[in-house]
Structure 1
Amino acid sequence: MEPFHQSAALSLGVELELQLVNTHDYDLAPYSDEMLRLMRKIPLPGSVVPEMTSSMIEVSTGICHSASEVLGQLSEIRAALVRCADKLNIACVGGGTHPYQQWHEQRIYDRPRFRQLSELYGYLSKQFTIFGQHVHIGCPDADAALLMLHRMSRYIPHFIALSASSPYVQGQDTQFDSARLNSVFAFPMSGRAPFTLSWDEFAKWFAKSTRTGVVKSMKDFYWDIRPKPEFGTIEIRVFDTPLTVERAAALSGFVQSLAAWFLKEQPFVPEEDDYMVYTYNRFQACRFGLEAVYVEPSTGEHMPLREHIQQTLARIMPHALELGAGGSIDTLRMSAEMGANDARWLRENYSRERLLAEVVRQAAERFRGRT
Structure 2
Amino acid sequence: MGAADESHRTGSGPRFGVEEEFLVVDPVSRVVVPQAEVVIRRARERLGARVSGELTKMQLETRTDPCGSVKELHAQLTEARGVLGACAAAEGVRVVATGTSVLAGTVPPPITEGARQDRGIEKYRGLHDEQAICAVHVHVELPDRERALKVSNHLRPFLPVLITLTANSPFWEGRDSGFASWRTTVWPRWPVAGPPPFFTSVEHFDNLVDTFLTAGTLVDIGTLFWDIRPSANHPTIEIRVADVPITAEESALYAALVRALVVHVGAAVDRGEDGPQIQPELLRVAYWQAARDGLGGQGLDVRTGLLVPAAEQVTALFDLVRPVLEDNGDLDLVSGWLRRLLDGGTGAARQRAAAGRAGDPIGAVDHLVAHTAPHD
Fold conserved between structures, TM > 0.5: yes
Describe the shift of the 1:54–1:271 C-alpha distance in structure 2 as closer, same or farther (beyond 3 A): same
Q: Of 320, 328, 343, which residue of structure 2 is paired with 1:315?
A: 320
Residue 132 of structure 1 aligns with which residue?
135
Query: Which AA in structure 2 matches 1:114?
Result: Q
Q: Distance in 1 between matches of 2:154 and 2:193?
A: 19
1:77 deviates by 1.1
Go from structure 1 to structure 2 and tell me whether the alpha carbon gap of 1:329 and 1:159 turns closer, same or farther (over 3 Å shift): farther
Indicate how the Cα distance of structure 1 residues 47 and 332 shifts in structure 2: closer, same or farther if over 3 A, else same.
same
**Judging changes above 3 Å, is the alpha-carbon distance between structure 1 residues 207 and 355 closer, same or farther for their aligned structure 2 residues?**
closer
The answer to whether the 8 A contact 2:356-2:363 is kept is no
Give 2:90's aligned amino acid: K
CA distance in 1, matches of 2:16, 2:334: 14
Q: 1:76 aligned to 59, 76, 79, which one?
A: 79
- C-alpha contact (below 8 Å) 2:57/2:112 kept by paired residues: yes
Q: 1:335 to 1:39 in 2, by over 3 A?
A: closer
Alignment of 1:15-26 (within 5 A): 15-26=19-30
Structure 2 CA distance for aligned equivalents of residues 105 and 198 of structure 1:
39
Aligned residues: 361
Distance 1:139 1:35, change over 3 A: same
Distance 2:176 2:242 in 1: 19
CA contact (8 A) 2:184 2:291 kept: yes
Find the aligned partners of 1:346 and 1:9 in 2 and give their Cα distance: 34
Q: Which letter maps to 2:264? A: W
Tell me the percent identity: 26
Gaps of 5+ in 2: 1-11
> Residue 335 of structure 1 corresponds to which residue in structure 2?
341
Give the Cα–Cα distance (whole angstroms) in 2 for the partners of residues 265 and 221 of structure 1: 26
Hey, what does 2:369 align to over in structure 1?
Answer: 364
Matches within 5 A, 1:95-110: 95-104=98-107, 106-110=109-113
Question: Which residues of structure 1 form unaligned runs of 5+?
Answer: 1-7
Aligned mates of 1:96, 1:216 — CA distance in 2: 24
Alpha carbons of 1:202 and 1:354: their partners in 2 closer, same or farther (altered >3 Å)? closer
Written as runs of structure 1 = structure 2, the 5 A alignment for 1:242-253 is 242-253=245-256
Pairing 1:184–2:190 present? no
**Separation of aligned partners in 2, 1:17 and 1:259:** 23
Distance 2:143 2:111 in 1: 38
Task: For residue 9 of structure 1, report the CA deviation from its aligned partner.
Answer: 7.1
CA distance in 1, matches of 2:310, 2:320: 15
1:165: which partner in 2?
Answer: 168
- Give the conservation status (yes or no) of the 8 Å contact 1:95–1:240: yes
Identify which of 222, 227, 248 aligns with 2:225.
222
Cα distance, 1:61 vs. partner? Answer: 0.9
Contact preservation (8 Å) 1:146, 1:227: yes
After superposition, the C-alpha distances for 1:23-71 in whole angstroms (9 at most, x for unaligned) are: 1111112111211221222245x52111121111111111122222211
Task: Assess if the C-alpha contact under 8 Å between 1:32 and 1:57 holds in 2.
Answer: yes
Which region of structure 1 is more displaced relative to structure 2, 198-207 or 75-84? 198-207
The alignment partner of 2:266 has SS state of helix
> Does the 8 Å contact 2:13/2:328 carry over to 1?
no
The alpha carbon displacement at 1:74 in A equals 1.2
Aligned to 1:123: 126
* Correspondent of 2:40 among 33, 36, 39: 36
**Cα separation, 1, equivalents of 2:339 and 2:262:** 18
Query: How many angstroms apart in 2 are the aligned matches of 1:134 and 1:71?
Result: 14
Deviations 1:309-336 (A, max 9, x none): 2122112112112112212244225534
Offset from partner CA, 1:63-107 (integer Å, 9 cap, x none): 122222211111121121122111111111111111113233631
Which AA in structure 2 matches 1:358?
A: G
What is the alpha-carbon distance in structure 2 between the residues aligned to residue 361 and residue 26 of structure 1?
8
For 2:61 and 2:182, locate their aligned partners in 1 and report how far apart those are by CA, in whole Å: 20
Residue equivalent to 2:258 = 255
Deviation by residue 1:148-194 (Cα, 9 ceiling, x = unmatched): 11211111111111111110111111110000122212212223323
2:9 corresponds to: none
State how far apart, in whole Å, the 2-side matches of 1:27 and 1:296 are: 38
Q: Does the 8 Å contact 2:30/2:103 carry over to 1?
A: no
Pick aligned residue for 1:287 from 287, 292, 307: 292
> Does the alignment pair 1:344 with 2:349?
yes
**Do the aligned partners of 1:291 and 1:306 also contact (CA within 8 Å) in 2?**
yes
For the 8 Å contact 2:289–2:300, the answer to whether it is kept is no
- The alpha-carbon deviation at position 276 of structure 1 amounts to 4.1
What secondary structure, in the 3-state scheme, does the structure 2 residue paired with 1:204 have? helix
**TM-score (norm. length: structure 1):** 0.90
